[in-house]
């Protein structure tokens, strides 16, 4: 993203990873703009350490904005650019990959080949769960949720359920998806995919009660935000056999410590938050973020501005 900005700018972080919030605050005192990554190394980018009246524009290379102190930003009248839509397809593709990897136990199968576990044919060896004729529940039928449902249709899914803040009949019509309560979705779905935004209402939504309502054969996938899931409760559900398996592209914290209990489970597949990680998508995101920033500084409409 920094390659899209003028080389003459005095403070541009050009490292391959997100910078620390302390460094960010130090560099941006007196600045007119701020362009944090979605994983700037602090839970939120606060503004208390930044110059008061000068900061006018924030542009983030993400669709999620839970790393921004939105109430303070709104109070100060700061404009925010973000990058929705451009990562929808890549994230939906990753969700499909993670779902299939988890429900068909691919990591276990690969290890069996490597360690000599692949011997004579056994009828039920390495069996998983298929999508044909299944019921899929999607938590959050937004852009990404819809893109996931579109990709699931050719697999012969029989029934789609979804939940969210309100029914979306126009979007749901393509899949004949049924708007249901969260408990009903948990109880009746064979596969559950979390694709909602992180809000106060969704934080910790998938907890002990939620997992206890799921089928013992159900597979759970989260590609939204780690805080939507109570990970201690998820671990217990997986370790006890309450649910069959889980696939996570997001965790709390990120990165997940290598000694975390979830990493000890064969029935839990964890990826390092790579939903948008294709070359084309990241290039498009960086250009959009830079153009949002430049438009904001010029006082022009941003290509993609967050409504606060």
CA distance 69 to 45: 6
The two structure tokens encoding residue 101: 């990897």
Same domain, 56 and 92: no
**CB burial readout 234-243, b (16+ within 10 A) else e:** bbebbeeebb
Same domain, 116 and 259: yes
The two structure tokens encoding residue 62: 């993400």
Same domain, 119 and 75: no
Same domain, 261 and 164: yes
Confidence band, pLDDT 50/70/90 cuts, at residue 241: very high
CA distance 203 to 199: 6
Same domain, 150 and 209: yes
The verdict on residue 165 lying in a domain is yes
Confidence band, pLDDT 50/70/90 cuts, at residue 172: very high
Residue 128 has pLDDT above 50, yes or no: yes
Do 21 and 41 touch, CB atoms closer than 8 A?
A: yes
- Domain total for the chain? 2
Same domain, 27 and 106: no
Please tell me the predicted confidence (pLDDT) of residue 264.
98
Q: Which CATH number goes with the domain that contains 208?
A: 3.40.50.720
pLDDT tens digits, 204-216: 999 999 999 999 9
Same domain, 190 and 235: yes
The verdict on residue 256 lying in a domain is yes
Angle, in degrees to the nearest 10, between helices 279-298 and 88-103: 150
The verdict on residue 305 lying in a domain is no
Same domain, 257 and 131: yes
Catalytic status, residue 273: yes
Please tell me the predicted confidence (pLDDT) of residue 26.
54
Give which of 75, 78, 83, 74 is closest to 31, Cα–Cα.
78
Three-state secondary structure along the chain? CHHHCCCCCCCCCCCCCCCEHHHHHHHHCCCCEECCCCCCECCCECCCCCCCCCCCEEECCCCCCCCECHHHHHHCCCEEECCCCCCHHHHHHHHHHHHHHHHCCHHHHHHHHHHCCCCCCCCCCCCCCCCCCCEEEEECCCHHHHHHHHHHHHHCCCEEEEECCCCCHHHHHHHCCEECCHHHHHHHCCEEEECCCCCCCCCCCECHHHHHHCCCCCEEEECCCHHHECHHHHHHHHHCCCCCEEEECCCCCCCCCCCCHHHHCCCEEECCCCCCCCHHHHHHHHHHHHHHHHHHHHCCCCCCECCC
Strand arrangement, sheet containing 79-81 = 33-34, 57-59, 79-81
Sign of CA dihedral 59, 65, 67, 72: positive
Q: Which of 67, 216, 260, 273 is catalytic?
A: 273
Across 120-145, average pLDDT = 98
The verdict on residue 238 lying in a domain is yes
The two structure tokens encoding residue 38: 């979605």
> What is the extent of the structural domain holding 287?
2-84+278-298
Residue 27 has pLDDT above 70, yes or no: no
- Give the other-Cβ count within 10 Å of 54's Cβ: 12
Q: What angle do CA 81, 146, 253 make, to 5 degrees?
A: 60
Same domain, 77 and 175: no
Computed on alpha carbons and rounded to an integer, the radius of gyration of the chain in Å comes to: 21
The verdict on residue 74 lying in a domain is yes
Give which of 61, 79, 74 is closest to 299, Cα–Cα.
79
pLDDT tens digits, 28-82: 554 555 666 555 444 444 555 554 567 889 999 998 888 888 999 999 999 999 9
The two structure tokens encoding residue 72: 């303070």
Enter the pTM of the model: 0.86
Same domain, 202 and 154: yes
The verdict on residue 73 lying in a domain is yes
CA distance 78 to 58: 7
Same domain, 70 and 96: no
Same domain, 169 and 294: no
Please tell me the predicted confidence (pLDDT) of residue 146.
98
The verdict on residue 199 lying in a domain is yes
The verdict on residue 308 lying in a domain is no
């Amino acid at each position: 993203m920094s390659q899209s900005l003028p080389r003459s700018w005095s403070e541009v972080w050009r490292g391959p990873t997100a910078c620390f919030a302390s460094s960010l605050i130090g560099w941006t005192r007196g600045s007119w703009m701020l362009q944090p990554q979605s994983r700037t190394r602090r839970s939120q980018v606060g503004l208390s350490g930044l110059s008061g009246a000068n900061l006018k524009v924030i542009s983030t290379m993400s669709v999620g904005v839970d790393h921004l102190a939105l109430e303070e930003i709104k109070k100060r009248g700061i404009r925010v650019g973000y990058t929705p839509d451009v990562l929808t397809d890549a994230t939906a593709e990753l969700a499909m990959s993670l779902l299939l990897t988890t429900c068909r136990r691919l990591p276990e199968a690969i290890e069996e080949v490597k360690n000599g576990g692949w011997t004579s044919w056994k009828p039920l060896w390495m069996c998983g769960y298929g999508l044909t004729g299944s019921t899929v529940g999607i938590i959050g039928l937004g852009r990404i949720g819809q893109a996931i449902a579109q990709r699931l249709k050719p697999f012969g899914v029989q029934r789609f359920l979804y939940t969210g803040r309100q029914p979306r009949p126009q979007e749901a019509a393509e899949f004949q998806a049924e708007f249901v309560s969260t408990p009903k979705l948990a109880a009746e779905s064979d596969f559950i995919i979390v694709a909602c935004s992180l809000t106060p209402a969704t934080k910790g939504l998938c907890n002990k009660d939620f997992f206890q309502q799921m089928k013992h054969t159900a597979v759970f996938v989260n590609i939204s935000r780690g805080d939507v899931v109570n990970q201690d409760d998820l671990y217990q559900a997986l370790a006890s056999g309450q649910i069959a398996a889980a696939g996570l592209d997001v965790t709390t914290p990120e990165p997940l410590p290598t000694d975390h209990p979830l990493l000890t489970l064969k029935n839990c597949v964890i990826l390092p938050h790579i939903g948008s990680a294709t070359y084309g998508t990241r290039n498009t995101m960086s250009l959009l973020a830079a153009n949002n920033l430049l438009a904001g500084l010029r006082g022009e409409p941003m290509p993609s501005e967050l409504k606060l």
